[in-house]
Chains A and B, each alone.
Chain A
Amino acid sequence: MRIPFRDNLPASAITPEPLYRRRRDVLKLLGLGAVALGSGCSPEATPQAAAPAAPESIPGKSLTIARKLDTTMGETGTRYKDATHYNNFYEFGTGKSDPAANSGGFHPQPWNVEIAGHAEVTGHFTLEDILKPHPLEERIYRLRCVEAWSMVIPWVGFPLGDLLKRFKPTSQAKYVAFTTVQRPAEMPGLNYPVLNWPYREGLRMDEAMHPLTLLVVGMYGHALPNQNGAPLRLVVPWKYGFKGIKSIVKIEFTESQPTTTWNESAPDEYGFFSNVNPAVDHPRWSQKTERRIAGDGFNLFGNRIATKPFNGYADQVASLYAGMDMRKNF
């Protein structure tokens, strides 16, 4: 089934007015509007600081990128090798190097995504149908893990909201729920019930439609490696990393707050929102600081930095939670 897509309309006609304005605000606040959204053809116009200094050879299909945005304003980037060999993807094992070691037999192609729930358009779609209308952007985001380490990663994808709008969610759609693929033959970690499989995550509708929320198909200019959630994953830069669900096979519009895997596993430790918040500690460890994994080569000292509210994206997203008690809604 194909999704009807009208590309002859101006962007403002498709994007709801408040969202459209907010997106412009995001870029304005980042002070990168005109610069980063330019064609990227002049080298000094494209922020380069976060790219690794030593070029690494990167496997996987090279992606065509329409525009680039560094939301970190030039923080030192994480090496490709580190971002792809230090992963939490329990379906391939619970050790940090397990996903890279055990995901070789995983097949990210062909891929289908089911769209379900409160929307006018639902059904099963091929990955090609999902991706076709969306120009790819590179977004350099901070990634803050709930385990108190962090990285700076150039993702390649497009705003999740742009995809969701194509299915015309109804007024009953208050949340979006995501599900990871479950293939025990290809994902050895599924043989042990360390979590209640399949992995599920969710966002409130306004969070899902926020322009910073990215549906990701690549990193470092190339297609996503299996261990990072190929072929399609979520990245929500102001939330702890586990909210960025990997290898998505189902997106469902729901009226009530969906059950999410880590919240189900330990409700007092992992909330539904899980916004990065140095003021609310994990019950067992501090979230005030983080160990930054970035830069070339090995560095034992000076990796610890202060964690910022909303992982440094407070100006863009704090208004989503106005009036909410973030200690209760952690």
Chain B
Amino acid sequence: MGMFRDRIAAIKPLFFLLCLLPLAHLVWDTLHDALGTDPVAQLEHRSGDWALRLLLATLAITPLRRVTGWHKAIRFRRMLGLFAFFYATVHLTIYAAIDLGGFWSQLLGEIAKRPYITLGFSAWLLLIPLAITSTQGMMRRLGRRWQRLHRLVYIAALLGVLHFLWLVKADHREPVIYLGVLLGLMLWRVPWRTLGRTLASGKSGQLPVRT
């Protein structure tokens, strides 16, 4: 492996570039007038899609580890989460800086007044502390609190999916797929066996949750 600690460390830079591909594709299409009739809407939809996909991918890491036994997958989680935040930021920037162009005074009003924008903006806000505390140093410093704080990602993902669901006019098939994936990943986290045992033995109290 030479300069890398192990194989994962060697793959990581490639994985980083892979996560940048959607952005490169967007930039390429923008420069080549390949975004179609309504380029601003395209930029918004595609950056938003990738924010959601990467957020769901982040939430899929734990189930993936448990199901496959490939525990090293955890080492990709932070990068996935940070890229989800990155694409959400690109998405918000395109909306605020390009789409609203010339009508910036509407921005705060729109965030407050339009439920789907309120949800999307809240999701982005929730991701900020998670991005800031994503470093090793922060993990050490926050200890147990780190895990509690990072459970915010579940709420952010739910808000993000609802943001998509709410803006659609009539055909809900695509956002419902995202919602289905999210629900699947959340249901997997419910400790069904422990839950069953606890209920059977009549004990209550805090249940362990797989994070």
Residue positions of A touching B, CB distance < 8 A: 81-82, 85-86, 90, 94, 96-97, 147, 149, 192, 194-195, 265-266, 284-286, 288-289, 291, 293, 297-304
Contact flags (1/0) for B32-49 with A, using CB distance below 8 Å?
Answer: 010111111101000000
A124–B26 Cα distance when bound, in Å, is: 51
Of B9-17, B79-87, B165-173, which stretch is located at the interface? B165-173
Whether the Cβ atoms of B110 and A286 lie closer than 8 Å is yes
Minimum CB–CB distance from A314 to chain B (whole Å) comes to 21
Whether the Cβ atoms of A304 and B39 lie closer than 8 Å is no
A7–B14 Cα distance when bound, in Å, is: 76
Q: Is B30 an interface residue (CB 8 A)?
A: yes
A86–B102 Cα distance when bound, in Å, is: 24
* In the complex, chain A residues whose CB is within 8 Å of the CB of B170: 90, 94, 194-195, 265-266
- What are 12 A-B interface contacts by the 8 Å CB criterion? A82-B37, A90-B171, A96-B37, A192-B173, A194-B170, A195-B170, A286-B114, A291-B99, A297-B33, A300-B39, A301-B98, A302-B102
* In the complex, chain A residues whose CB is within 8 Å of the CB of B173: 192
Interface residues on B, range: 20 to 34
Whether the Cβ atoms of A293 and B106 lie closer than 8 Å is no
**Which residues of B in the span 22-77 have a Cβ within 8 Å of any Cβ on A?**
30, 33, 35-41, 43
Q: Is B101 an interface residue (CB 8 A)?
A: yes
Contact flags (1/0) for B142-183 with A, using CB distance below 8 Å?
Answer: 000000000000000000000000110111010000000000
Whether the Cβ atoms of A86 and B40 lie closer than 8 Å is no
Assuming the contacts A194-B171, A195-B170, asked whether A303 and B37 have C-beta atoms less than 8 A apart, the reply is: no
Q: Is B191 an interface residue (CB 8 A)?
A: no
A300–B40 Cα distance when bound, in Å, is: 6
* In the complex, chain B residues whose CB is within 8 Å of the CB of A194: 170-171
